[in-house]
Structure 1
Amino acid sequence: MNSNNLDRSVSYFSMEIAIHPEMPTYAGGLGILAGDTIRSAADLQVPMVAITLLHREGYFYQTLDATDWQTEEPVHWVGKNFLTDTGVRTHVSIENRSVKLRAWKYDVVGEGGFVVQVFLLDTDLPENSDWDRKLTNRLYGGDEHYRFCQEVVLGIGGIRMLRALGYDAIHKFHMNEGHSALLTLELLDEQATSSGRPTLTLEDIEAVHAKCVFTTHTPVPAGHDQFPLDLVNRVLGRRDVYEMKEVFCCEDKLNMTFLAMNMSHYINGVAKRHGEVSRHMFARYKIDSITNGVHAATWVSQEFAELFDRYIPDWKQDNFSLRYALSISKNEVAHAHQKSKRRLLKSVNQNMNAGLDSNVFTIGFARRVAMYKRADLIFNDVEQLRRISRDIGRIQIIFSGKAHPKDIDGKKMIQQIIRTGRSLAPDVTVAFLPNYDMELAQLLTAGVDLWLNTPEPPQEASGTSGMKAALNGIPSLSILDGWWIEGCIENITGWAIGSDGVSIGQSNNHQTDADSLYAKLEQSIIPTFYNDQDCYVEIMRHAIALNGSFFNTQRMIQQYVLKAYF
């Protein structure tokens, strides 16, 4: 490894990273955001290196059985087809066993040729026991014992691997969610050892605190990992965790979010509203906000990339220049979108026999399927939806998304969406696409006419799918939560469901939100689409110029550089 690669000052830790469409090393939005972050860091030549796990069996491969019930299978992929074994080894101690780790390498190359290296940790080595060899197999798999051991590998093992690889110049350690928070324990040990002390002190904590950055991504309690102290003691075998409970623990559990916050000099939420919600949840901490973005060059469709290349030739190097999309003719914007739409519908029809029509107004909804995301809100009153499609303008809807394997309610929601979709035929055509992944997201966020998002506020931290759609000129119809509070200009970049008058900790009424959704479709969106195409394309241009130019990881990384890294 050459000295240029080793001269990195920022390390980025994430349990999941969407590095390559054919590598199932991510589950959803957190991993997509991590991948986009690294791609923009490479574009901007930020001196970064990244750490994650290999996930030999991915998250899971989603299938739907004859009853429309989600089932899961391991994802079969061959890591060596994409990755290089560095040959470097290190170890972590788990339950007094020395568990050996190796690192695979993937180079993310930026627009100017600058490389950010991603190292994927792997325990599948013959020196390890059968159980230990499977520790890095499944993303978010197993019980809390398996999950905690994975987080030992990521956090403690990640720091040790960086050192073994020769990365000694790092002065900032960025934790993308709390899964990697045990890296702070390893940094504390390094600090004490370098000072010649056998035990940790307040000075060690202050030194590590100055090195760490933490991004929290969710206000949903299930998103904050907590582990019982007897499990922590069994796995780590360390009494000093007990002795420093005020740093490591909350309510007699090791809370990874609190550990990361206690040990970080800079903490941020991922949208302005999420920063506000996080300050309400964690009142004793100073929490800033940096609104998420997406990597423009990754998510702009081939059709729009060609259009931007002609009219805004430096858009990849300077995403803010996408504001000049307002100067592109409406006919060319409409033509590029129609090509993207036909490509999407051709794929869906070939794979699903869905009978989707390129002349029909098409709504897209694709998220992880969880109750608070309310994917079924548009089906709150199926007769109302049927009437709008019949009397105002034809509607077709494409859904996609996975429920967590243990989320029975999420699986029931998928089943109900599919069954309700069938009952709406022939007035409304509905397709549910299994195995939502990076490639399917690229098709969907470029090919529908409207992006729908209906979370129960204030539980949407940011959301990035609508940002991808905006880059392709697709406006959103969304609850005013997460990023959409910042991105929505009514009838200019899209439309809002309900209002922003919800107090933190309270939720909108489902019926009220559904009524607002139907009213916007019936009174504004569908009539504009079918009867005033010129106006609709103008909204599409503004989605690119106002939202695409700002809600990108190029702007986001620049804010991290200024606020957190240097």
Structure 2
Amino acid sequence: MTASIAEFTKEPKIAYFSMEIGVRSDMPTYSGGLGVLAGDTIKSAADLNLPLVAVTILTKKGYFKQELDIYGRQTELPDEWDPNNFMTQLKEKVSVFIEDREVYISAWLYVVESMRGTKVPIIFLDTDLPENAPEDRGITHYLYGGDQAYRLKQEIVLGIGGTRMLDELGFEIKKYHMNEGHSALLTLELLKKYKRDIEEVWDERLVWDEEKVRSLCVFTTHTPVAAGHDKFPYDLVQKIMCNIIPINVIQELAGREHLNMTMLALNLSNYINGVAKKHGEVSKGMFPGYEIHAITNGVHSFTWTCDSMKRLYDKYLPGWANEPEIFVRVGRIPDDELWEAHMEAKRHLIDYVNRETQTGMNYDTLTIGFARRATAYKRADLLFTDIDRLAYIGEGRLQIIYAGKAHPRDESGKQLIQRIFEIKEKLKDKIKIAFLKNYNMELALKLVSGVDVWLNTPLRPLEASGTSGMKATHNGVPNFSVLDGWWIEGWIEGFTGWAIGPLPDVPADPARDADDLYYKLETVIIPTFYNDKHTWIRIMQNAIGKNAYYFNSHRMMRRYVTEAYIR
């Protein structure tokens, strides 16, 4: 037993499974919000000294490195990195059967250490071993890569292999927390582990101790879009998965037509939650008959606060990093010091944008930021619904910074990026627009702290949570957003930021959204920024004191402990 692992196996743990975990920019083991949330979860667990171990896939070739040509056409390159620079490979191995081959899995140990000295281990699973066939060595190479077969193989490694690895390493697990459905096959491994010894039985399902497995499992769903839930045809499952338990039992738990990972997790979890109050309601509508709770996401305060704001908080709000509730005392910070800390971050961002894109942006112009995965429902181009109106409103008074990757198979997402490039060229003499490539954690921090307003325009109700807006609030940047996800809970009009479009209980109306966006930009946001700095700084303070103080992962993790883990 490796000594470094031994220190983590002395007490029972919560096992936190996630297909992607983002803990640092130079380890590309994440694609976006889901992985970064997982990283923030683990960092807060370390800060709060919670007994947690995380399990994920070691994606040695990353998600992808984004290249954009002058027309905004995206190409994807491997984002290779060396895990030896960050973590330790353990000697323990386990195996799973895939397509009737025994596939060996090794583990790498990465330790997240809090400033307080407390630690949480992350177990990265790796099939790139000499004893494996060439096609099996690549199973853990690419995050969300390949076809359905590749994805299913990855989810076998994560769910079944990960559970076996925890046993092999000597962990005693009291709860298994599935962060989205990718790891739901762990429930089948637990069914196999806790199989009842019954010689004669009239119903085969009685052999499988579903209640025992259910008592061990927690499931968090993040996806309000039906297409986002992994489903695998049973002929593929039978070919690849090699009957860990009989297929007819799986069909009872995961759906008759195909193996639905979300249904499997729903049917074998004792606690199920969405990631915002609204998302909990949407999930109940998608999956009627299940008791679905809501724990609104949060972000790790220390990670998502820029250096200039950290210094300010250390001076006036000591202890903020481990007790974000202290943000409620933001009124202690003098206006001029808050503004200067923001301007330091803004200068840092604008200098970076100008170096990377030669856009010629300046420090004093109102700067809007929009950065998220480039996909149709996020509507990155809502701002361009009427470019003549936008030009009239924003000429000389507005500059816009975009960033985001489109999934390699998301053609509409790729076209969205190209449209932004087209508009950028059309408006270049009136409004400066930049698109930054390779959106990652490091760039995200520059953006959420350096822009003046954070824009979010999803088509309601398709935004589960939207953690980037929470990151902005930690840096005193107000949100201008459609009322969906977390913003329904954080929004006080003209106080913490501004809403776009109708109230959440009114049907979505894209034309109304665009009109409201332009109206508030022209009549409220631009005039306040340029003509009423006192009010603008009050809104910045409120973003910190009303939003950052609540929408942080410390509060989120305390709720998981009391509502999900100790049930």
2:461 to 453, 458, 461: 458
Structure 1 segment 311-390 matched on structure 2, within 5 A: 311-390=316-395
Q: Is structure 2 residue 477 aligned with structure 1 residue 474?
A: yes
Aligned residues: 560
**Whole-Å separation in 1 of the counterparts to 2:183 and 2:279:** 21
Deviates further, 243-252 or 379-388: 243-252
Q: What is the aligned partner in structure 2 of residue 34 from structure 1?
A: 38
**Whole-Å separation in 2 of the counterparts to 1:27 and 1:368:** 9
Amino acid across the alignment from 1:525: I
Alignment check: 8 A CA contact 1:42 1:115 kept: yes
How far does residue 192 in structure 1 lie from its aligned partner after superposition?
1.3
**Whole-Å separation in 2 of the counterparts to 1:31 and 1:197:** 45
**Whole-Å separation in 2 of the counterparts to 1:434 and 1:200:** 51
Question: Unpaired runs of 5+ in structure 1?
Answer: none
Q: What is the aligned partner in structure 1 of residue 446 from structure 2?
A: 443
| Cα displacement string for residues 452-481 of structure 1 (whole angstroms, at most 9, x for unaligned residues) | 000000000000000000000000000000
Q: Is structure 2 residue 428 aligned with structure 1 residue 428?
A: no
**Whole-Å separation in 2 of the counterparts to 1:195 and 1:29:** 45
How far does residue 364 in structure 1 lie from its aligned partner after superposition?
0.0
Cα pair distance change 1:127/1:48, threshold 3 Å: same
Question: Unpaired runs of 5+ in structure 2?
Answer: none
Q: What is the aligned partner in structure 2 of residue 127 from structure 1?
A: 131
Structure 1 residue matching 2:363: 3-state secondary structure: coil
**Whole-Å separation in 2 of the counterparts to 1:494 and 1:283:** 34
**Whole-Å separation in 1 of the counterparts to 2:408 and 2:260:** 23
Amino acid across the alignment from 2:513: D
Amino acid across the alignment from 1:330: D
| Cα displacement string for residues 256-315 of structure 1 (whole angstroms, at most 9, x for unaligned residues) | 000001000000000000000001110110000000000000000000000000111110
**Whole-Å separation in 2 of the counterparts to 1:147 and 1:279:** 27
Compute the RMSD of aligned alpha carbons. 1.6
Q: What is the aligned partner in structure 2 of residue 103 from structure 1?
A: 107
How far does residue 242 in structure 1 lie from its aligned partner after superposition?
2.6
Alignment check: 8 A CA contact 1:23 1:77 kept: yes
Residue identity over aligned pairs, in percent, reads 51
Q: What is the aligned partner in structure 1 of residue 558 from structure 2?
A: 558
Alignment check: 8 A CA contact 1:52 1:154 kept: yes
Q: What is the aligned partner in structure 1 of residue 537 from structure 2?
A: 537
| Cα displacement string for residues 365-411 of structure 1 (whole angstroms, at most 9, x for unaligned residues) | 00001100000000111111110113xx6100000000010011110
How far does residue 243 in structure 1 lie from its aligned partner after superposition?
2.1
How far does residue 218 in structure 1 lie from its aligned partner after superposition?
1.1
Q: What is the aligned partner in structure 2 of residue 498 from structure 1?
A: 501
Alignment check: 8 A CA contact 1:457 1:502 kept: no
Structure 2 residue matching 1:482: 3-state secondary structure: coil
Q: Is structure 2 residue 96 aligned with structure 1 residue 92?
A: yes
Cα pair distance change 1:459/1:401, threshold 3 Å: same
Structure 1 segment 122-521 matched on structure 2, within 5 A: 122-167=126-171, 169-192=172-195, 201=206, 204-238=209-243, 240-245=245-250, 247-390=252-395, 394-502=397-505, 508-521=508-521
Alignment check: 8 A CA contact 1:63 1:70 kept: yes
Deviates further, 239-248 or 429-438: 239-248
Alignment check: 8 A CA contact 2:192 2:208 kept: no
How far does residue 236 in structure 1 lie from its aligned partner after superposition?
1.7
| Cα displacement string for residues 30-86 of structure 1 (whole angstroms, at most 9, x for unaligned residues) | 000000000000000110000000001100000012432111010021111111101
**Whole-Å separation in 1 of the counterparts to 2:355 and 2:392:** 29
How far does residue 501 in structure 1 lie from its aligned partner after superposition?
4.3
Amino acid across the alignment from 1:437: N
Amino acid across the alignment from 1:527: P
Q: What is the aligned partner in structure 2 of residue 69 from structure 1?
A: 73
**Whole-Å separation in 2 of the counterparts to 1:350 and 1:188:** 55
Alignment check: 8 A CA contact 1:188 1:200 kept: no
Runs in 1 of length 4+ with deviation above 4 angstroms? 193-200
**Whole-Å separation in 2 of the counterparts to 1:166 and 1:362:** 52
Deviates further, 307-316 or 239-248: 239-248
**Whole-Å separation in 1 of the counterparts to 2:60 and 2:76:** 15
Structure 1 segment 76-87 matched on structure 2, within 5 A: 76-87=80-91
